[in-house]
Structure 1
Amino acid sequence: MNNQSELAYMQIKEKILAGGLLPGARLVEQALSEELGVNRGDVRQSLARLCAEGLADRGEKGGYFVKTLTEKDVREIYEIRHILETSAVPLIMERATEADYAELEAIAGHMQLMAEHGYTLGVCEADLKFHKALMKATHNDKLLDLYKHANIPISGVYGMKYEINRVIAGTMDDVNEHKMIIEHLKHKNISDVIVLLGKGYPHP
């Protein structure tokens, strides 16, 4: 994959993960080529890679679409994420630096600002960044890569979650829980962190 194809891949993936491209949306090669300033061949390579990662599907009559996840898909992805995050807590407590905590606090602050203004997509994006920053604080590159790959197919699930829960009070509760996670990590309260991490996941 060349540099232009890699650039296209990253930008399309980010739009899907942030909810900018919703499940079922058609991924039009020509439109994406013009928007990203790359040729259609690069876009095509990117879309094929996104299919392999579970972010997109190829239609029966051709073309690519943002993958629509079933409830079972969502549950299983959340279960994988929860297992990885809770298993990572001891490593985070042992290895997290002041810079790691500063990054988490900055993201939580941005999440609060987005929630106060009712910007649900902004809350969504901040939530994704927060959990990724948590895993980054393990300082285990292999674990972070595993987490990123497990998280890829979630695509618009966060967007759907926050579209359903538009009430700002509910969103603010979520913001407060993220801030509490940081405090409990600092004070080595492992059981409290694990409980809070579990609140962010759907249960059958």
Structure 2
Amino acid sequence: MERRLLPIKLDSYQPLREVVCETLRNAIVSGVLQPGERLMEIQVAEELGVSRTPVREAIRKLELEGFVVMIPRRGTYVSDLSIKDITEVFEVRTSLDILAAGLAAERITEEELEQMERLLVEIGGYIEQNDMEKIVEADSQFHDILYRASRNERLVGIINNLREQLTRFRSLSMSYPGRLKAMFAEHTRMVESLGQRNVALAQQFAGEHMANAEQVLLKNMLERGSDSSAE
């Protein structure tokens, strides 16, 4: 089989299993490793230039995150999230994001508010440039600050785990016509409510943001499915 995973550079302070996990996660998100594709420990270890132990540990973590599924007597496969899976993740994520936004409205610092406002300006510029990679990166930073402002590390950990399960679908959602401008408006309302320390509004806008993201993602997936079935 053609080599697709590049050997890992051992110049990171992270544990090797974390580097392997991040490498495999990025390969799944970017499409290098396709949904339904089997992951064989020996092959992955050879391509990455590491032993099987960190690969095995990384795969276990990716299973918890929902990126891979381990089927008894058959092996490990890159997961192919169904619409039902995505709906379930959004149901949990929405509740957690509402909680995080409410806590952030009470606990966010002026410095964090300023950081979010600066990111809004950056996101607006990237939208004008249609730079999807930069938009996704800045959007992640925006939400990281929001979650951190909740001052609840356990909540942040749970949210981040669920975020990872939907990472590969973010560009699909954002690329839908009109979604980027709507997302920018939603972010702006969230920052305004946080600045006002308005818990109820922050929770309302967080819930609306998640609901809109889910609706657009599912609509895009269904339309693409219809297009592919008609070919």
TM-score (norm 2): 0.69
C-alpha spacing 1:46/1:82, structure 2 compared with 1 (3 Å): same
2:187 is matched with which residue? 178
Q: Is the 8 A contact 1:100 1:137 kept in 2?
A: yes
2:67 is matched with which residue? 55
- Mean CA deviation greater in 170-179 or 133-142: 170-179
**Larger of the two Rg values belongs to structure:** 2
2:17 is matched with which residue? 5
Distance across 1 between alignment mates of 2:151 and 2:203:
19
Matched, 1:64 2:77: yes
Deviation at 1:175, TM superposition (A): 1.5
Deviation at 1:34, TM superposition (A): 4.7
TM alignment of 1:131-142, pairs within 5 A: 131-142=143-154
TM alignment of 1:1-204, pairs within 5 A: 3-13=15-25, 16=28, 19-21=29-31, 24=35, 26=37, 30=43, 34=47, 38-58=50-70, 62-65=75-78, 67-163=79-175, 165=176, 167=177, 169-200=178-209, 201=211, 202-203=214-215
Q: Which residue type is aligned with residue 35 of structure 2? A: G
> 3-state DSSP class of the match of 1:188?
coil
- Higher relative contact order at CA 8 Å, sep ≥6: structure 1 or structure 2? 1
Deviation at 1:4, TM superposition (A): 0.9
> 3-state DSSP class of the match of 2:130?
coil
C-alpha spacing 1:6/1:33, structure 2 compared with 1 (3 Å): farther
Cα deviations across residues 27-57 of structure 1 (Å, max 9, x unaligned)? 576568656x644542343123202321112
Q: Is the 8 A contact 2:40 2:75 kept in 1?
A: no
Q: Percent identity?
A: 24
Deviation at 1:136, TM superposition (A): 0.9
Q: Which residue type is aligned with residue 64 of structure 1? A: Y
5+ long unaligned stretches in structure 1: none
Q: Is the 8 A contact 1:5 1:45 kept in 2?
A: yes
Q: Which residue type is aligned with residue 102 of structure 1? A: E
Deviation at 1:94, TM superposition (A): 1.8
Distance across 1 between alignment mates of 2:125 and 2:36:
29
Q: Is the 8 A contact 1:33 1:43 kept in 2?
A: no
> 3-state DSSP class of the match of 1:199?
helix
Distance across 2 between alignment mates of 1:72 and 1:104:
32
Deviation at 1:115, TM superposition (A): 1.7
Cα deviations across residues 108-144 of structure 1 (Å, max 9, x unaligned)? 3332233222223432333333223211111111111
Number of positions where the alignment pairs a residue of Structure 1 with one of Structure 2? 196
TM-score (norm 1): 0.77
